[in-house]
Amino acid sequence: MATKILVTGGTGYIGSHTVVELQNAGFEVVIIDNLSNSNIGVLDGIEQITGIRPAFVEGDVCDKTTLNALFEAHSDIKGIINFAASKAVGESVEKPLKYYSNNLVSLINLLDMMPHYGVKGIVFSSSCTVYGEPDVNPIDETAPIKVATSPYGNTKQISEEIINDYIRSGAAIKSIILRYFNPVGAHPSALIGELPNGVPNNLIPYLTQTAAGIRKQLTVFGNDYNTPDGSCIRDFIDVVDLAKAHVVAMRRMLENDQTEAVEVFNLGTGRGLSVLELIDAFQRATGVAVPYVIGERRAGDIEQIWAEPTKANTVLGWRAEMPIEDTMRHAWAWQLHLQNK
């Protein structure tokens, strides 16, 4: 019988791609999502790609009644991947309580219920934001955690601490914490991808909307950083590569291969690309021009950060493989799919 996995936030951007990879790998998936930043149509995309429609519960992980009912109905859930969280940095500064409540209460509820329902482990979505502005690049998992620059970032740090404290207290569960760098792209089928709400904050959705003529021009936030071309540097990781890492992590957790009850992995390519280089890669890969201007620096931006992914490469046996040009083509195909819907 297939092993059952609960994916919270499974209709979201990274969640939906992970559901696809889990189902392709033979796992049975139950999704819980409150559709606050996604829509139900994502299930059609998942079904078209995999031939399987995952079980779906519309509800909030912060709501214990809903969660208990879910675990009662699916008493054979063995693992959880927790994507359900709010993730807009700017909004988190304006509505900190929304972020602390959504992101922390949901995690606490899951952790609290796991031993009771016999769930062995939880894969948690963290972020490279926990490293702040790195002292050295590439950055590995032993680097110090810096003071968070936003409530969003703080919820990731606190979540990691909550998981560690809970397991240290003797809770009979395991966890793998995945620190994502900058997830970009979409499924090659163009049937699922990122669904930005309103004006996008992140670079790629803004870029593809500009290329499509929905936005007049992209603003590059600063070209006076201490980097070769003056724009910020990030580690852009393809969302399908990222999704595959969750499958590997889940197997490791459930097959008792973990050497520690809590393990942390950076998920990145190991290659830093500047904002200007990324625009160039998109234009080269798609042949579509992206009108852009250089603007002011964006408050709170990190100058440069890219991953040392060796631990994930060797211990998980996972590696980011998608060439950036392919990732850009997929992002563009997804943008066109959104427009033709």
Q: Let me know: does 18 contact 7? Beta carbons within 8 Å.
A: yes
**CB nearer ligand UD1, residue 83 or residue 152:** 152
Smallest gap from residue 262 Cβ to ligand UD1 (A): 21
Residue selected from 42, 57, 89, 307 as contacting ligand UD1 according to rule CB under 6 A: 89
- Tell me whether strands 28-33 and 218-221 are parallel, antiparallel or unpaired: unpaired
Q: Which CB sits closer to ligand UD1, 126 or 175?
A: 126
Binding ligand UD1 by CB under 6 A: which of 298, 311, 319, 337? 298
How far apart are the C-alpha atoms of 101 and 17, rounded to whole Å?
Answer: 26
Question: Per CB under 6 A, which of residues 165..204 are in contact with ligand UD1?
Answer: 182, 201-203
103 binds ligand UD1 (CB under 6 A): no
Q: Which is nearer to ligand UD1, 28 or 308 (CB)?
A: 308
Per CB under 6 A, 286 contacts ligand UD1: no
Task: Choose which of 101, 164, 189, 219 interacts with ligand UD1 (CB under 6 A).
Answer: 219
Tokens, residue 109: 């509820």
Count of residues that interact with ligand UD1, criterion CB under 6 A? 22
Please say if 152 is a catalytic residue: yes
Catalytic residue among 13, 117, 152, 225: 152
CB 178, min distance to ligand UD1, A: 12
Distance in Å, CB of 215 to ligand UD1, minimum: 9
Q: Give first-to-last CA distance, the chain, whole Å.
A: 37
DSSP assignment string, 260-316: SSEEEEEES-S--EEHHHHHHHHHHHH-----EEEEPPPTT--SB--B--HHIIIII
| Nearer CB in complex with ligand UD1: 71/332 | 332
State the pairing for strand pair 218-221/273-274.
Answer: unpaired
Q: Under the criterion CB under 6 A, does residue 302 sit at the interface with ligand UD1?
A: yes
Exposed/middle/buried for 51, CB within 10 Å: 0-12, 13-18, 19+?
A: exposed
Q: Which of 150, 208, 227, 266 binds ligand UD1 (CB under 6 A)?
A: 150
CB atoms within 10 A of CB 167: 19
- What is the distance between the alpha carbons of residues 212 and 329, in angstroms, rounded to a whole number? 13
Task: Assign 6 to helix, strand or coil.
Answer: strand
Tokens 């502005």 belong to residue: 133
Instruction: Kindly list the residues in this chain that would bind ligand UD1 in the complex (CB under 6 A).
Output: 87, 89, 127, 129, 150, 152-153, 182, 201-203, 206, 218-221, 232, 234, 275, 298, 301-302
Active site amino acids: 152
